[in-house]
Amino acid sequence: MASEESFVVLVHHRGSVNRKTRSGVKFTDKNPLCIVITSTTSYDDLVSAVLMKLGLDGAKRVKKFFYRIPVTVLQNTVKYDCFTINNDVDLQVMFLCRRQFPEVRTPELLARLVDVVSNSSGSNRNTNTIANPAGSSSRPAVASSSVPVYEPVVQHVASPSFAVDLNGTEGDEVVERENLPNALVGVAPVGVGDGFLVDEEEDDVEPDMIDDDSADDIGATGPALEVGGSSSDTQQYPPHFSSLDLDAMRHEGVLGHAVGFGARDAEGTTGLTEFQVGQQFQDKDEALLSVKTYSIRRGVQYKVVESDHRRYVGKCSEFGNGCTWLIRLSLRKRKCIWEVKRYNGPHTCLATSISSDHRSLDYHVILAFIMPMVRADASVSIKVLLNATAAHFGFRPTYRRVWMAKQKSIALIYGDWDESCNDLPRWVLGVQLTMPGSVVVLKTTPVRVGGQVDESQAYFHRLFWTFPPCIEAFCHCKPLVSIDGTHLYGKYGGTLLIAIAQDGNSNILPVAFALVEGENAESWTFFLSHLRQHVTPQPGLLVISDRHNGIKAALEAPDGGWLPPSAYRAFCIRHVAANFALTFKGKDARRLLVNAAYAKTEVEFDYWFDILRSEDPAMCEWANRIDYSLWTQHRDEGRRFGHMTTNISECVNSILKGVRNLPVASLVKATYCRLAELFVRKGREAEAQMGTGQQFSQHLVKCIEANMKTARCFTVTLYDRDNSEFTVAETTPTGSFSLGTYRVSLASRTCDCGYFRLFISRVSTHLHAVHTHGSPGPLTFTASIRLARCSMCIGWDSHLRSQRASGHLTTGPR
């Protein structure tokens, strides 16, 4: 079989990646391994083959592979980029590219090897759950019906624009990851080479003083933290910070806690209050964090005398003035651990000044403390984190320092901010392979250097995406869609545009998303054009939105497909009332305007509008400048179905809680996972109801039952038997606004109350009164909404099972 054809893979295990070659990416190792595999080989099989060939099974592990992926072939010249392989789905990309590029028959991989460290006394820093973003461009040139093929990003150029910031800054190359903390990437820093292989004892010569390295540099070495994965496929976020889990603030796995400062002595005992010679630490980051935490707890300052990849020396800032506190830590290279070689303590000095801040309380220490809280709720505010840090350490850090710590925490849990855009195309490609019909449109912008366009570089600009169940579900929803935007609160900001629908059971369903730089005419045109093309092609659709000029321009574009009679527009009354309140103060006036907007008949509208006019005629003049069909129910010709707002807040709070704080790739993954959970849960509920013989949705059944109960308060008189017309008179008031007598026509399905025209799914109470009092034939007006047509019955299960089977579905914190 062709799928079982064996072929050779060159696996490099030393050296690094050189991106600055004519052919793009090139591996510097000159002595690669030759591994024979087939297209059915799994990721674990490949890892085992490499380790066995090297004879390092049990001593080393493969953290990840870098694949030298071909992206373009021009005049017999192949250009390569770097692609990170972490699982079986990533490995399938290599097999696919080998078939698509017959010019490259021998794939090349670079295996990133790290030591297998014992987990006897702390968290294992070298586990696959560490959030280490793939430092590569995940952009294979694979044709797709939804994602256009584009050139890979070779180098990022600094720019203040939103699109550029998402891609990172100059010098952030894929393989140059050695400048990150070695506890995060599992390799030695640049310039160390094989220095870890020899165990040299340290001398006792004290060098001259150097600057303290505890400054708040975002690129400095951070603490090594264990980042656990989610226990479920859908990341569930707890309520906001008002229900903060205080136990998470004292998580035992957090380095630098008060007892023992995360260290152990030579015998493995813990609970130390002072350092001792022979104490050991998993890595340098843990050792530094312990020294800083000790200094904060004692309320004293210290200076760093020496700090490199093999030693760390610190002295009290009052050393020589009565205090002899000193600590020296060294790397034991054979054991790959850090150990206290010399310690003079405790401090004998006194604090010379009182300060609310502490120099050692940098963002690395704060990061270690707030990590459990950020993992529990990515939307937790900086103010809450700042107050918690101050209460725990007794010193109050700056707002910026806590903000930096939170952004780094999110990067460790959900992926690096700058590399997130490079990871996104790889994930999108996997979704399209396992869920055909997914629509993803990625727009990039060219890079200009010195007035010239650099074809080898591109910036992330905008992204539109939706999934097949959302497209199919909208066919069973009410013919209206609400659109709105919400700001992103991550490192680089931006705006998330959302299209929201609602089915006959009052289930809110986001059907399409877009990530843009902000709300303007161009971004809304990008979103609405793809929404119309891929999700909402139905004629006569109603669009509910705010009064943003960008939306107005996009909807009124001649070629946009949103002009009547193809589509109609209505305003969200919440936004109209907010704009009204900017000019006219007072809650009563705003309430009168909202009541007038919700009025179902012209008589009821005039009632509230006259009261508003008596308050201030200028209020009515302001409202009259907006066409009544755009903001009132009695003039909407029944297109609103009673929906007066965009439901954006309800959608964000119930379905998209917390995603606005995540990197772009994690944000897109979160929408997938939340929707998968939503469809599965609501679909099972609907199936259970159908299994019990229910024909209509729960929401409709409740409306019918309430109307049948209220119908006892009416008297019915036959008006025209041939035309099935009746008069219904209220004997007891049933609402806050009542006209007393109504005309009901069964033939035309109308009622003077206005409910039946505006709420097609809600059968009028007065129609139920006619039926209750003996009208001929069964009541047939409820057949518009059945459970079999409920949007949440559209199955996501089959898509979910196929993705889980392929190993592609990865959700929540890594």
- For residue 268, is it within any domain? yes
Q: Is residue 687 part of a domain?
A: no
Beta strands at 452-466 and 439-449: parallel, antiparallel or unpaired: antiparallel
Q: 555 pLDDT exceeds 80?
A: yes
Q: Which three-class secondary structure state does DSSP give residue 460?
A: strand
If you search the block for the tokens 């119908």, which residue do you land on?
711
Q: What is the mean pLDDT of residues 302-320?
A: 81
Tell me the C-alpha distance between 83 and 94, whole Å: 9
Dihedral angle, C-alpha 574, 579, 582, 586, nearest 10 °? -40
Close Cβ partners of 686 (under 8 Å, ≥ 6 residues apart) = 505, 697, 787, 790, 792, 793
Cβ count near 675 (within 10 Å):
23
Would you place residue 143 in the very low, low, confident or very high pLDDT band (cuts 50, 70, 90)?
very low
Average pLDDT over residues 326-340: 83
What pLDDT shows up at residue 240? 31
The conformation of residue 788, written as its DSSP 8-state character, comes to G
Task: Convert the pLDDT of each residue in 265-278 to its tens digit.
Answer: 444 444 447 888 88
Question: Distance between CA 713 and CA 731 in Å, rounded?
Answer: 5
708 forms beta bridges with: none
Q: Does residue 433 carry a pLDDT above 80?
A: yes
Partners of 82 in the beta sheet?
68
If asked whether residues 442 and 375 sit together in one domain, one would say: no
323 or 130, greater pLDDT: 323
CB burial of residue 329 (10 Å; 0-12, 13-18, 19+): buried
pLDDT band at 157 (very low <50, low <70, confident <90, very high): very low
Residue 41 pLDDT greater than 80, yes or no: yes
- pLDDT given for residue 759 in this prediction: 53
Dihedral sign (CA 88, 91, 97, 102): negative
Give the pLDDT score at 553.
94
pLDDT(462) > 70: yes
Question: Which is higher by pLDDT, 807 or 492?
Answer: 492
Together in a domain, 61 and 202: no
Out of 214-218, 403-407, 707-711, pick the least confident: 214-218
Mean of all residue pLDDT scores within the chain: 72
Higher pLDDT, 778 or 320: 320
- Same domain (yes/no): 672, 720: no
557/588 Cα distance (integer angstroms)? 38
The answer to whether residues 357 and 436 belong to one domain is: no
Q: Which segment of 7-16, 71-80, 139-148, 615-624 scores lowest on mean pLDDT?
A: 139-148
Q: Is the pLDDT of residue 139 over 70?
A: no
Residue 130 confidence (pLDDT) above 70: no
From 214, 144, 638, 190, select the one nearest 431 (Cα to Cα): 144
Instruction: Label residue 798 by pLDDT band (50, 70, 90).
Output: very low
| Range 514-530 average pLDDT | 95
CB 446 within 8 A of CB 473: no
Cα→Cα distances 783→412, 626, 771, 778, Å: 52, 36, 15, 12
Question: What is the pLDDT, as a whole number, of residue 711?
Answer: 75
> What gap in Å lies between CA 562 and CA 543, rounded to an integer?
9
Listed residues 116, 146, 174: the one ending a domain: 116
pLDDT digits (tens, 9 = 90+) for 758-780: 554 434 444 444 444 444 333 33
pLDDT band at 208 (very low <50, low <70, confident <90, very high): very low
| Torsions phi, psi for 588 (to 5 deg) | -65, -45
Provide the pLDDT for residue 416: 82
Question: Which range is least confidently modeled, 322-326, 610-614, 668-672, 793-797?
Answer: 793-797
Q: Do 750 and 638 meet the contact criterion of CB atoms below 8 Å apart?
A: no
Of 676, 711, 744, which residue constitutes the final position of a domain?
676
CA dist 458 → 48, 139, 150, 272, 445 (Å): 37, 12, 9, 53, 6
Q: Minimum mean pLDDT among 208-222, 361-375, 409-423, 704-718: which range?
A: 208-222
Tell me if 563 is assigned to some domain.
yes
Q: Of 473-482, 655-664, 714-723, 746-755, which one has max mean pLDDT?
A: 473-482
pLDDT over threshold 80, residue 258? no
Portion of the chain with pLDDT greater than 90, in percent:
20
pLDDT of the residue at 463: 94
Domain annotation covers residue 404? no
Given this model, what pLDDT does residue 355 score? 59
* pLDDT for position 129: 32
Query: Is there a domain that residue 146 lies in?
Result: no
What is the model's pLDDT at position 209? 32
| pLDDT on residue 612 | 93
- pLDDT the model gives residue 491: 77
Q: Work out the burial of residue 619: count CB atoms within 10 Å of its CB; fewer than 13 is exposed, 13-18 middle, 19 or more buried.
A: buried
Q: Rounded to the nearest 10 degrees, how much is the dihedral formed by the CA atoms of 215, 220, 223, 225?
A: 140
Q: What's the pLDDT at 492?
A: 81
Pairing mode of beta strands 7-12, 108-115: parallel
In this prediction, residue 687 has a pLDDT band, given cuts at 50, 70 and 90, of: confident
pLDDT, mean of residues 243-252: 31
Range in 156-165, 353-362, 446-455, 538-547 the model is least confident about = 156-165
Give the contacts of 304 (CB within 8 A, at least 6 positions apart).
Answer: 210, 211, 212, 213, 214, 312, 313, 314
* Structural element, H or E, at residue 784: none
pTM higher than 0.95: no
CATH number for the domain including 88? 3.10.20.90
**Does 506 lie in the same domain as 362?**
no
Whether 802 shows a pLDDT value over 70: the answer reads no
pLDDT for res 74: 66
By CB atoms closer than 10 A (0-12, 13-18, 19+), residue 501 is: buried
> CA–CA separation, 654 vs 651, rounded Å?
5
Which range of 317-326, 503-512, 589-598 scores highest in mean pLDDT? It is: 589-598
Instruction: For residues 316-342, give the mean pLDDT.
Output: 81
Between the CA of residue 150 and those of 5, 11, 797, what are the distances in Å? 30, 27, 32
Q: pLDDT value at position 632?
A: 93
pLDDT the model gives residue 361 = 82
Query: Does residue 313 share a domain with residue 348?
Result: yes
Mean pLDDT is lowest, of 236-245, 285-294, 406-415, 634-643, for 236-245
What's the confidence (pLDDT) of residue 550? 94
The verdict on residue 345 lying in a domain is yes
pLDDT at 564: 92
Same domain, 776 and 717: yes
How many domains does the chain contain in total? 4
Of 26-30, 182-186, 423-427, 622-626, the poorest mean pLDDT is in 182-186
Q: What is the largest CA-CA distance in the chain?
A: 111
Domain that holds residue 458: 420-676
**Does 126 fall in a domain?**
no
pLDDT exceeds cutoff 50 at 432 = yes
Same domain membership, residue 445 and residue 377: no
SS3 569: strand
Name the most confidently modeled range: 292-301, 434-443, 679-688, 789-798.
434-443
Mean pLDDT calculated for residue range 432-461: 84
Mean pLDDT confidence for 556-562: 91
Residue type, 807: G
Q: Give 215's pLDDT tier (boundaries 50, 70, 90).
A: very low
pLDDT at 719: 74
Write the pLDDT tens digit of every residue in 3-15: 467 888 999 988 8
Rounded to an integer, what distance in angstroms lies between the CA atom of residue 763 and that of residue 119?
A: 66
The last residue of one of the domains, among 60, 84, 116, is: 116
Residue 149 forms part of a structural domain: no
310 and 447 co-located in one domain: no
Region 510-538: what's the mean pLDDT?
Answer: 95
Of 111-115, 169-173, 565-569, highest mean pLDDT: 565-569
Looking at the structure, tell me whether residues 733 and 624 fall in a common domain. Answer: no
pLDDT at 557 over 50: yes
CA distances (Å), origin 527, targets 163, 491, 657: 16, 23, 22
Q: Do both 513 and 564 map to the same domain? A: yes
Residues 585 and 446 in one domain: yes
